[in-house]
């Protein structure tokens, strides 16, 4: 039997780059093996030497300490990942899956690898996107000039992104894009790093306020309206470790919703 789970409230106090994580992380769906949360903007998923603030892995670690009976660890892979099944960029909000035991983690890693988990995003991009629906298949490779950026490159790994236009808007201050904005529903058929951001930028539709793949002058103007890129992992569809078909939906951050309310329709 299909199940649908959603959450209409929003997270955050408007300060997305605080060093302490907002403790009120939404749990969107949970069973004995699995947790799906709405990751806030500005929170890093994985621990790293270069990351000084609290991460989602730290948050999971605290939950394990508080409720050890709900979790089963003692496995090197599980401990290395703290059950995190995939990742989202720091500025990207939305659905993030966490396994509660090693068997569930390996199951979900296999599901992601075989592309059986469906991830759907919402993205606000510069430009009037045409056609209204489409798919791009372009290989991606890490940039040799900037290790934090990725690029379309013939030596890269195959990456497939599909899009559908939800709405079109007009916002003054982006003459290079004829002051046009498009709100897209974006689906991933592969899961490469920065895939959506790189593909859409390459097509001439960079994500609003994306400081990495949008020119600096436009990104600065965008930041007057929004202080992070507009990309949200809104829907996650999967078959759970327990065999249930599940669809989880995460509400957009309030600042993204507020921006959309200020925009004039085309």
Beta strand ranges found along the chain (DSSP E): 3-5, 26-30, 34-39, 93-99, 118-126, 133-137, 140-142, 150-152, 160-170, 180-188, 231-239, 245-249, 264-265
Instruction: Give residues with Cβ within 8 angstroms of 75, minimum separation 6.
Output: 102, 105
> Which SS3 state, helix, strand or coil, does residue 65 take?
helix
* Of the candidates 106, 102, 56, 59, the residue with the CA atom closest to the CA atom of residue 79: 102
Q: Residues 138, 159: contact at Cβ < 8 Å?
A: yes
Active-site positions read 89
């Amino acid at each position: 039997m299909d199940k649908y789970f959603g959450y209409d409230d929003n997270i955050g106090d408007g300060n997305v780059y605080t060093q302490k994580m907002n403790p009120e992380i939404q749990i969107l769906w949970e069973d004995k093996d699995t947790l799906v949360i709405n990751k806030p903007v500005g929170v890093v998923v994985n621990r790293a030497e270069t990351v000084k603030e609290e991460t989602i892995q730290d948050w999971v670690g605290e939950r394990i300490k508080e409720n050890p009976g709900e979790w089963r660890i003692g496995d090197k892979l599980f401990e290395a990942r703290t059950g995190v099944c995939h990742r989202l960029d720091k500025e990207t909000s939305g659905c993030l899956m966490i396994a509660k035991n090693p068997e569930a983690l390996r199951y979900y890693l296999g599901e992601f690898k075989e592309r059986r988990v469906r991830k759907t995003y919402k993205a606000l991009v510069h430009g009037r996107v045409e056609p209204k629906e489409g798919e791009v298949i372009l290989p991606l490779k890490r940039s040799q000039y900037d290790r934090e950026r990725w690029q379309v490159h013939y030596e890269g790994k195959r990456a497939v992104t599909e899009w559908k236009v939800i709405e079109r808007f007009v916002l003054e201050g982006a003459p290079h894009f004829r002051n046009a904005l498009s709100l897209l529903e974006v689906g991933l058929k592969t899961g490469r790093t920065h895939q959506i951001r790189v593909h859409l930028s390459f097509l001439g539709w960079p994500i609003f306020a994306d400081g990495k793949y949008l020119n600096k002058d436009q990104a600065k103007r965008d930041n007057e309206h929004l202080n992070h890129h507009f990309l949200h992992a809104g829907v996650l569809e999967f078959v759970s470790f327990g065999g249930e078909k599940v669809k989880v939906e995460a509400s957009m951050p309030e600042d993204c919703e507020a921006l959309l309310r200020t925009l004039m329709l085309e």
